[in-house]
Chains A and B, each alone.
Chain A
Amino acid sequence: MAEEHEALTSAFSGLGVDESSLLTVITKWRKQPEKRRGFRSSSPFFKPHGSFERCEDDFVRSLKVEFARFKNVTVLWAMHPWERDARWIHHVLHKAHPFNIIVEIACTRSSDELLGARKAYHALFHHSIEEDVAYRVKENYCSLLVGLVSAYRYEGSRVDEDIAKSEAKALGHAIKNAGTKDPVENYEVIRILTTRSKTHLKETFRHYSGIYGQSIEQDFADESCLGETVRCLGSSASYFSKVIDKAFGEEADKNAKDALTRVVVSRSDVDMEEIKAVYEKQYKAKLEDKIVKNTRGNYRDALLSLVGM
Chain B
Amino acid sequence: MDQKNKNSKKPVYSKFSQQELPAWKPILTPGWVIASYITIGALFIPIGLLAWTASDSVVEIVDRYDEACVPDDFSKNPQSYIQNPNIKKTCTRSIKVPKKLVAPIFVYYQLENFYQNHRRFVKSRSDKQLRDVKAENDTKFCLPVAYDYDNKPIVPCGLIAWSLFNDTYKISTRGKDISIEKKGIAWKSDAKAKFGSNVYPKNFQKDGLIGGATLDESIPLSEQEDLMVWMRTAALPTFRKLYGKINTDIEAHDTIKVEIQNNYNTYKFGGRKKLVLSTTTWIGGKNDFVGMAYISVGGICLFMAINFILLYVFRPRRLGDPSYLSWNRHPIT
Is B a genuine binding partner of A? no
Chain A residues in the interface with B (C-beta under 8 A): none
Chain B residues in the interface with A (C-beta under 8 A): none
